[in-house]
């Protein structure tokens, strides 16, 4: 039954490909992933409200969804969307090496994700613990616990783990939520670089940089939530860039709203990292006086709000705040003790100093071939309109 999940994802990808007609594989993948992530939230929240989060109910819902999606997919579109792309001409040795490097990281991390059960401290204390409670209770409602992170922490990644655990009967596929988010992030960053005018070599290089993040490699084989929120923020940035570059497709506004809602539902840091993008998009709409987009923007805000409504309401009922408590037992605090201009300036200066020191060390250790590559014309990005 676990195959129902990738089947629904594949069918949604084909359906997006079929409806959009843009023949852009990467964009279709990002949009279908956002739709699949929203479906995961809907299945969990609705069945949880009915206390029907069990194998039979979850399998039935995903099976019905697969049938509905399959009925709307044309066979010709499925063959066209899922077939292997033709051989790209003019691929040089550097591009082959970089591509092999990225594929190697994906394969090695996939093997680790499959062979090593979730065993990090956070996985044991609240990521996997809350999933076990949800399975036992048949609902995502709050329950008595001394570890409050099991309750108020943003739950999208665990919602996805819950679906896989119910359909497979164990936690064998728990790590693959983060791994799939890493793979999706690689697709997303390459698509963003393309929108900024990067050629094929630079697009592959962005994937190399993203795949080489040490913490990212560790996170991709665990049940942490950092790569989940990173993937949805990448999707949010991509659709935001498409809209700023003049896209009028409603699908891009839907992808923007779903990605923002899913990012917020994955981890609280999304509030901080999404804010500059939201500000830039809002400023662009005001400067350009894009009044015709008001309805689309309102729809985007509504979708993002609805995705988080269940979790926010549970936090609000227990903590009187949609964000949860400011602190919990064990000395965990989620805010500064003091709020003042002096403290803010002090923290900004210290953070800038740490970042500058790390940058100087990385420049010293940067190999000669890497510095030469970044200075080449292949890596010089411009900001034109959308590619024709």
Per cent of the chain over pLDDT 70 is 84
- The token pair at 84 is 């292997």
- C-alpha atoms less than 13 angstroms from C-alpha of 39 in its C-beta half-sphere: 21
With beta carbons less than 8 A apart as the criterion, state whether 384 and 197 touch. yes
State the Rg of the chain over Cα.
22
Q: Which of 14-23, 113-122, 188-197 has the lowest mean pLDDT?
A: 14-23
Q: For residue 304, give Cα distances in angstroms to 41, 78, 151, 244, 262.
A: 12, 30, 21, 19, 7
- C-alpha atoms less than 13 angstroms from C-alpha of 72 in its C-beta half-sphere: 16
With beta carbons less than 8 A apart as the criterion, state whether 71 and 63 touch. no
- In this prediction the pTM is 0.85
What pLDDT band is residue 86 in, cutting at 50, 70 and 90? very low
CA-wise closest residue to 174 among 126, 128, 237: 128
Give the pLDDT score at 298.
Answer: 77
Give the pLDDT score at 134.
Answer: 95
As a whole number of angstroms, the distance between CA 65 and CA 348 comes to: 49
What pLDDT band is residue 243 in, cutting at 50, 70 and 90? confident
Average confidence score pLDDT of the chain: 84
What pLDDT band is residue 43 in, cutting at 50, 70 and 90? very high
What pLDDT band is residue 34 in, cutting at 50, 70 and 90? very high
Per-residue pLDDT averaged across 82-105, rounded? 77
As a whole number of angstroms, the distance between CA 26 and CA 190 comes to: 9
As a whole number of angstroms, the distance between CA 128 and CA 68 comes to: 31
Read off the pLDDT of residues 105-121 as tens digits, 9 standing for 90 and up: 999 999 999 998 888 88
Give the pLDDT score at 363.
Answer: 47
Angle at 232 between CA 315 and CA 362, to 5 degrees: 115
User: Dihedral of CA 63/61/250/203: which sign?
Assistant: negative
Among 32-46, 274-288, 337-351, the range of highest mean pLDDT: 32-46
pLDDT higher than threshold 80 for residue 83: no
Dihedral in degrees, nearest 10, Cα atoms 35, 383, 386, 243: 40
């Amino acid at each position: 039954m676990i195959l129902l999940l990738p089947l629904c994802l594949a069918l949604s990808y084909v359906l997006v490909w079929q409806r959009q007609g843009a023949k852009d594989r990467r964009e279709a993948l990002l949009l279908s992933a956002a739709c699949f992530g929203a479906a995961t939230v809907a299945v969990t929240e609705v069945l949880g409200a009915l206390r029907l989060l069990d194998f039979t109910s979850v399998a039935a819902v995903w099976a019905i969804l697969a049938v509905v999606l399959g009925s709307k997919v044309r066979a010709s579109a499925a063959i066209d969307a899922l077939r292997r792309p033709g051989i790209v001409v003019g691929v040089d040795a550097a591009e082959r090496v970089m591509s092999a490097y990225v594929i190697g990281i994906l394969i090695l991390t996939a093997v680790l994700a499959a062979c090593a059960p979730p065993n990090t401290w956070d996985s044991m204390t609240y990521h996997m613990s809350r999933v076990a409670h949800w399975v036992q209770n048949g609902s995502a409602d709050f329950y008595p616990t001394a570890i409050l992170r099991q309750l108020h922490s943003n739950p999208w990644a665990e919602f996805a783990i819950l679906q896989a655990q119910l359909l497979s009967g164990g936690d064998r596929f728990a790590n693959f939520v983060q791994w799939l988010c890493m793979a999706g992030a690689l697709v997303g960053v390459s698509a963003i670089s393309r929108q900024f005018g990067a050629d094929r070599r630079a697009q592959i290089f962005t994937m190399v940089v993203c795949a080489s993040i040490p913490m990212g490699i560790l996170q991709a084989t665990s049940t942490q939530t950092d790569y989940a929120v990173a993937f949805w923020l990448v999707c949010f940035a991509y659709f935001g860039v498409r809209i700023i570059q003049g896209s009028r497709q409603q699908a891009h506004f839907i992808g923007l709203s779903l990605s923002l809602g899913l990012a917020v539902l994955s981890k609280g840091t999304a509030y901080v990292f999404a804010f500059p993008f939201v500000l830039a998009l809002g400023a662009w709409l005001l400067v350009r006086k894009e009044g015709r987009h008001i309805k689309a923007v309102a729809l985007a805000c509504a979708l993002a709000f609805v995705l988080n409504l269940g979790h926010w309401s549970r936090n609000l009922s227990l903590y009187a705040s949609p964000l949860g408590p400011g602190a919990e037992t064990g000395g965990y605090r989620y805010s500064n003790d003091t709020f003042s201009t002096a403290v803010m300036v002090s923290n900004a200066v210290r953070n800038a100093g740490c970042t500058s020191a790390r940058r100087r060390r990385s420049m010293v250790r940067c190999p000669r071939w890497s510095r030469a590559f970044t200075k080449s014309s292949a890596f010089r990005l411009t900001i034109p309109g959308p590619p024709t």
